[in-house]
Structures are given as structure tokens and as C-alpha cells.
A = this chain, B = another copy of it.
Amino acid sequence: MSWRKDSRGERGYHHGNLKEALLQAALGLIAEKGPAGFTFADAARTAGVSAAAPYRHFRDRDDLLASIAQRGFEQFELVLTAAWDDGRPNTVTAFERIGKAYLAFARTEPAFYSAMFESGIPVDSSPELAAAGERAFGVIRAAAERLAALTPPGVTRPPAMMMALHIWSLAHGVASLFGRGDAARRKLPMSPEDLLEAGALIYLRGLGFPTDQNVHKSDTTTAPKSGPWGTAPK
């Protein structure tokens, strides 16, 4: 009844790394069937253990989901931080990259994304989860602060927090409504990325930032666009 752990990854009575295996299994299942379709039992089956085993590592199904959401926020923070790249080569460009990274994350990591935002687990489900979410948002806020500090002279400086919330909301709205591959999709005359970029540029212009191609400092390459929205809607 109890096989030894052989060279091919078989296991004995004890799994050895069940917690991690369950998280991975759940991630795959959520990606397949959404956070609602995912079942605790299925994750256990995928990991090759009995249905009761997961309870040694997670209080219940929601606890697993919260763990995934937390891990998702951690990944999210990394991705956003990389996109921001400390504001290089210039603040506006880097800021735009954050928006793109937001959408890219929603698209390439739908399992994380839905666990984070659509699973129905409250943000304050655990302090760690809340903290992870806060850190991820912190990247956007920090970028907004840098951006706010660059407000052109003669323009009243907007609160960085508000800017961060606006951009977050816009990115989140675009991602939620149009961002995922196949579910809940609505037809769009443009890509979500372009939609978000245009919106963000218009928004920044509304704050007094010069956003057209001829303006910003060290941006060497320029897009052939003439304004926030390209040439013509499809």
C-alpha cells in the first residue's frame, strides 16, 4: 500500500510537498474552469491524494483560494515593479508600461487574476493577503507620486493617491471588461492595450501633462501616432 519514492517522482504515503502541489493544481484548474468551477476535491485528485488530505494544509477551500490570491498579488507586484523599472527611460513611458503590464497579467495569468479579483474572497480575508494587495498597489502609487512630482509648472498638482486610484480603476475596468482571452468578452474596435493606453494618455493630458510624441524628453523612439488614439478606429 505504500510505495517508495522512486526515481520517477512516485511517492510514498507522504507526498512530501503537498501544499505546493495543491497550489499548482488549483492554479491550473482555475485557469481552466474559473474560480467558481474549481473544486477542492479536484485539486486533491490532481495532486494524487485523497480528498481529505488538503485539510492538513488549508483550513478550507476559501483558504486555498486566498493563498492563491496572495501569491497572485506577490507576482503582480513583481510584474508591475519590473514594468515600472524605476521610471526609466522616462516617467510617462514607464507609467504606460505599468498599464500594459496590468493587462498582460490579467491575460497571461487569468487564474491568479480571477483569484485576486473575482473569487469573492474578501481582501481582508487574511492580513497577509491584504498586505500583498497593498504592496502591489503601492507600485502604482509610487509611480503616480513620481509622475505627480513632474506636474508642469503652472498646473495645480494632483494628489498622487488619486491619480493612482484613477489609473488602477481604469486598468482594472479595461482588464475586467475586455481583457481576458475568451470569457465574458465583448467586441472592441481596438485592443484592450490600445484602449487603456489612449485612456491613460487622455487622462494625463487632462492633468496638464504633455503627452504627445514630440514632448517627452529622452524617449528616443517615437510611435507614428499623432495623438492618444491612433489614426482611425477600425
Q: Which residues of A contact B (CB under 8 A)?
A: 34-37, 117-120, 122-123, 133, 137, 156, 158-159, 161-162, 165-166, 168-174, 176-178, 183-186, 188-190, 195-196, 198-199, 201-207, 227-229, 233
Q: A-B pairs with the 8 shortest C-beta distances?
A: A206-B206, A173-B173, A169-B173, A202-B206, A205-B206, A172-B173, A166-B199, A169-B174
In the assembled complex, 14 residue pairs joining A and B whose CB atoms fall closer than 8 Å, in A order, are A118-B118, A158-B229, A162-B195, A165-B178, A166-B198, A168-B173, A169-B173, A169-B174, A169-B178, A169-B199, A170-B199, A173-B173, A176-B176, A205-B206
Residue of B123, B174, B190, B207 touching A185 (CB-CB under 8 A): B123
- Closest CB in chain B relative to A159 CB, distance in Å: 5
Residues of B within 8 A of A205 (CB): 205-206
B173, A34: Cβ atoms under 8 Å?
no
